Amino acid sequence: MRRVLVVCSGGLGTSVILKVELKKIFKEWNIPVYIEQSDVSAVGFSNAEMIIGAKQIISSLPSQQSVALIPLTYIADSAHIRNTLLENDALREWLDDV
């Protein structure tokens, strides 16, 4: 099972909404995934393989070679979320494994 962390500044509003949308997308793509949500300060305590959030939040995180960082410009746009995910090399590898 893949591990995804959804982050926002407070860990409650944006990340909850995004988590619901991501669950639908990953289920549709048959990717088994565990999705956590948190505020940006808890990122260092996560063992996620992928971190997804608003562009301004993701750009503030330090790069980590073992973690795919996916910044979203439009977090309320399902098509944008799907397209941004599909542009990510790590996500395409996950799809290849299905």
CATH number at residue 84: 3.40.50.2300
CA angle 28–31–34, rounded 5-degree value: 110
How many Å apart are CA 6 and CA 9, to the nearest integer? 11
Split into its structural domains, the chain has a count of 1
Residue with tokens 């599909």: 86
Residue 41: per-residue pLDDT = 83
How far is the first Cα of the chain from the last one, in angstroms, to the nearest whole number?
A: 11
Question: Residue 50 is part of which domain span?
Answer: 2-97
Averages of pLDDT over runs of 10 residues in the chain (98 residues) are 89 82 96 92 87 92 86 93 95 91
In this structure, which amino acid lies at residue 17?
I
